[in-house]
Amino acid sequence: MNTLQLVNNEHSLNKDFKPQHLIQDSFSKIWLCREVFWAVRRINYILCKLGLEQVVIISGYRSYAYQEKLFMRKIDYFGEQGLDDEAAKIKAAQIVAMPGHSEHQLGLAVDLAVWSMKDLADPLTTDFEQTSTGKWLLQHSHQYGLILRYPKDKVTITQITYEPWHYRYVGQKAARKMYENHWCLEEYLCALKG
């Protein structure tokens, strides 16, 4: 598995791509690549030791078909709001990744919430960054190979709005480099190419 594989608006995965070595989280029933699964396990172990709230997995691996369903649902939603097909599609694409363009299809991305927020109607809110756990993750996730994938100040590069809950596994070496240089994945890959 190439843990540095880039998936964004320009780089997509085909319909048939499915990652190998997925593990199902017994609590959330969500599937993740084993690297991410074990990283989250280790993070929760440390959070517990530090007396901080643990994280809950809200989203992990998503198939192409499932992403398509999410995308179509958003188009329908905007259609019902009175937008025409083309406008609804454009609006939907700003919020939900188009099928094949979601990192979640890689199985290397994970959306996290804190335990006390898991039952909210939408547990994925920017409030996550205000929690002690969210703050701790920002400073330490790289030690477990995870990076905040869509930082606030990288929106022009990632073309994805700020998502404090979305973490991506890239491996410890790459994660450390990105943390130290304050790079997002696109910038890191660019630097690698020289």
* Shortest Cβ 85–Zn ion spacing (Å): 26
Kindly state the tokens that stand for 52: 């901080």
Nearer to Zn ion, 74 or 166 (CB): 166
* CA 94/CA 88 separation, integer angstroms: 10
Q: How many alpha carbons fall within 13 Å on the CB side of residue 168?
A: 25
Binding site for Zn ion (CB under 5 A): 111, 166
* Shortest Cβ 82–Zn ion spacing (Å): 28
Nearer to Zn ion, 128 or 144 (CB): 128
22 bridge partner residues: 33
Task: Decide: 101 and 8 in contact? Cβ < 8 Å.
Answer: yes
The residues that are catalytic are 163
Quote the Cα angle for 87-71-129, to 5°.
Answer: 100
* CA 97/CA 95 separation, integer angstroms: 7
* Other beta carbons within 10 Å of 123: 19
Residue type at position 188: Y
Nearer to Zn ion, 44 or 102 (CB): 102
Nearer to Zn ion, 35 or 111 (CB): 111
Residue nearest to Zn ion (CB): 166
Residue corresponding to tokens 């598995």: 1
